[in-house]
Amino acid sequence: MAAPNQDLAAQLLPIFPDFGKQGRHLVVSLFALLARGYPVGITELAEGAGWSPVAVRDQLSRWWGIRYDDDGCIIGFWGLDLLPTRHHLRVGGRDLFAWCAWDTLFLPGLLGEEVAVHSRSAATGDDILLRVAPEGVLDSEPDDVRLSFLVPDAAAVKDGVRAAFCCHVGFLLGSRETESWLREHPGSRVLSLEEGFALGREVWLRLLGEDLFPQEYRGMES
């Protein structure tokens, strides 16, 4: 397992809300409910987290990175979504979606389930298949899949996570696509899948704390 990039993880933390000591439990409940494949109502989320609906609404009003439907139910939260994107997730027989390629690497740890990923190259649109478990990337097809990455402006992310961040984070195939991408996208970097997984795990462990995750996700050995 690749060691996490500590400096990069520190640069990414400001793009996320301060979930807080109590709010982090609400985050875990929201991911779990959303992963069932249905919109999550505020009352339902409150019951699942043991909060009052008023307290949940107040907490969510301070966070960004949330998508609601016309009925006020949550349909997307920090990378996990119910509506189709280019990153399709098959989770325990359920069809879910991710906002960007990086999300597909850290969501299995947050959900505690193995995920089959069907995505496409950001450069060519070629198909990419992955299997990702809470403990790491199990396999990929083709073999040499990489992750383009760009640290966004934190203020811009508050106005729209997907526009400011997700559109710069995609899968690439091999050295040729990588070299072309770096030439055409100044400021970007490219990570291996293992590096991307380790980075996602490091960021979310810092955001939520190790006690909310199983031991196989907490282990940080390289």
Active site residues: 100, 103, 166
Q: 203-212 — which CB contacts under 8 Å span 24+ positions?
A: 203/9, 203/12, 203/13, 203/16, 203/106, 204/106, 204/109, 204/110, 206/9, 206/13, 207/13, 207/16, 207/19, 207/24, 207/27, 208/19, 208/24, 208/27, 208/28, 209/24, 212/24, 212/25, 212/28
The DSSP code for 168 is G
In the numeric block, the tokens 């400021």 are attached to 187
Q: How far apart are CA 105 and CA 170, in angstroms?
A: 11
Contacts of 100 (CB under 8 A, 6+ apart): 79, 87, 162, 165, 166, 167, 169, 170
Confirm if 106 and 78 have CB atoms less than 8 A apart.
no
Angle at 167 between CA 162 and CA 170, to 5 degrees: 125
What's the rounded Cα separation, in Å, for the pair 105 and 149? 13
